[in-house]
Amino acid sequence: MKVLICGAGQVGFGIAERLSAEDNDVSIIDNSASLVQRVADILDVRGFVGHGSHPDILDEAGARDADMIIAVTLHDEVNMVACQVAHSLFNIPTKIARIRAQSYLEPHWRDLFSREHMPIDVIISPEIEVGDMVLRRLSLPGAFETVSFGDGAISVVGVTCEEDCPIVDTPLSQLTELFPDLPAVVVAVVREGRLFVPRGGDHLLAGDDAYFVAPNDQVERTLKIFGHDEQQARRVIIAGGGNVGLYVAKRLEELQSSTRLKLIETRRERAVQIAEQLNRTVVLHGSSLDEEMLKEADVANADTMVALTNDDQVNILSCIMANRLGCARTLCLLNNAGYTAMVRSLGIDASINPRGITVSRVLQHVRRGRIRAVHSIQNGAGEVIEAEALETSPLVGKPLREIDLPDGLRIGAILRDGDSRLPHGHTQINAFLRLIIFSTAAIVPQSVQLFPVISHFFYELP
């Protein structure tokens, strides 16, 4: 597949890295020569310096025979115009744009992005994607990662096995015997920095991070089996009143009327502005790095501190200070994925990487075949994939025990008409069933080939 990427920042680089590793023909455009040079030096991609919305630059980059354009520059308007030019002048079939300004995304302006006006097939809003991820983490405080699949029916949850985890040193094959009515499957384990797909005879050890797949109504029960019985946060402090912080506060007001919210914002003008948009949230003007401010917010009695500023260092230090002052749990936003492994050792319970979320959203529209959703974990070391099996799939028509699945792949759940069931050796996959699978990064291309479409590429559009 030939793909043009407009924007060579963190998100553009992440997308180019994943697509080029899967043997796609990738060209990347940015008006910063240093960024383009960096990408071209590290990755097997072609780099072009210029504005991604200019026809001559798109033409030079190969727009005439491109299959897809992904516009993820820092400017919404450049991304929108790039997609318009790609459609009007080059007839590029699939156009994806990152749009951050919420005004463009209001429901009553929805027709703006129709094919008759500004034809963008997929719109990605990092603020909404990240905000929704924060809300899911707050709803399941025992987990360090949680993602929904199957139209919200299935969750993939990351949980740490502490010293007192009841199922430590128990072979995974015995869990079914111990909990016969629990439809949960452990699909991946991270041990001492190494991610692997466990077998039935493997044990979980204290300190492991485990990822399990379970129906939504069984997630809390499964977390308890792992020794996590934390209550949902009722007193939340948000550090940072930017677009993400404001979105999270608004949604918490709507969804959890009993939650007591406080928001700390450093800019006085912004603090006044967001205070007018919120109904029950106490907005405080000050720095989340100021100990007196944290005490004024009553951080010692807070269930969760959520640091959502644009500065990773501020987010990390805010959470460390909140922990020291007695806050029960902390969650921080990290734009630099390199910090992710470090923050857990500092006592921060969970982190969210916007780049990883955006890259995952893009990948589900790039994969060949019936791929409905993709989520990348552990900085790209593995992927959770939701896919539909057509008649052309080698999985269809055989019991799972007779299928030679590649090492590094695990089927976590099978979905049919909104209901999920556990995969067993005797389970036969029928056409049009949806599967939730985990795949290590090395075999993602093989995993995707299990869900082919013969005559065309399929892109699932919202």
Q: What is the pLDDT of residues 265-304, one digit of tens each?
A: 999 999 999 999 999 999 999 999 999 999 999 999 999 9
CA distance to 241, 243, 285, 287, per residue, from 290 (Å): 16, 22, 11, 5
CB atoms within 10 A of CB 379: 16
State the pLDDT at residue 24: 85
313-322 pLDDT per residue, tens = 999 999 999 9
**Distance of alpha carbon 391 from its chain centroid, rounded?**
30
pLDDT band at 368 (very low <50, low <70, confident <90, very high): low
Residue type, 365: H
pLDDT at 454 over 80: no
- Helices then strands (H, E): number in the chain? 14, 22
Mean pLDDT lowest among 91-105, 241-255, 271-285: 91-105
440 three-state secondary structure: strand
Joined tokens for residue 78: 């450049």
| CA-wise closest residue to 447 among 390, 397, 386 | 386
Contact 352, 333 (CB under 8 A): yes
Per-residue pLDDT, averaged over 403-410, amounts to: 88
Over residues 413-429, the mean pLDDT reads: 83
Largest Cα separation within the chain, whole Å, is: 65
Instruction: Say if residue 445 is exposed, middle or buried (CB neighbours under 10 Å; 0-12, 13-18, 19+).
Output: middle
Sorted by sequence, the CB contacts under 8 Å of residue 154 that are 6+ apart come out as 148, 213, 214, 215, 216, 412, 413, 415, 420, 436
Quote the tokens at residue 353. Answer: 């990487």
Q: What is the mean pLDDT of residues 413-417?
A: 85
| Residue 462's pLDDT band (cuts 50, 70, 90) | very low
Report the percentage of the chain scoring pLDDT > 70.
Answer: 97
- What confidence tier does 196 reach under pLDDT thresholds 50, 70, 90? very high
